[in-house]
Amino acid sequence: MAPVVVKAVVGTAVLVVLMLYGMVTNVVLYMHCRALHGELTGEIYNEFANSYVFLPFDEGKDRHAM
């Protein structure tokens, strides 16, 4: 019975990893396509602007994500 359980666990783990890679691939492709069409730059900057740490020597720089 142990070999059947091991095969089931390994098979499930492989399927989960493949599904996660597929989901990440779809998200990255979606974000890339939106960025190519210019729909994403302002949204990312406005949403995450407070999350980034700006260094002291970044004072005069433009903080737009390109």
- Average pLDDT of the chain is 79
Q: What is the pLDDT of residue 39?
A: 76
Which residue would you say has higher pLDDT here, 33 or 58? 33
**Burial class of residue 28 (count of CB atoms within 10 Å of its CB; 0-12, 13-18, 19+):** exposed
pTM confidence score: 0.55
Domain boundaries, the chain: 16-46
Above 80 in pLDDT, residue 24?
Answer: yes
CA distance 51 to 22: 28
pLDDT tens string 25-55: 999 898 888 878 877 766 666 666 666 665 6
**Burial class of residue 44 (count of CB atoms within 10 Å of its CB; 0-12, 13-18, 19+):** middle
Ramachandran angles phi, psi of 37, nearest 5°: -90, 5
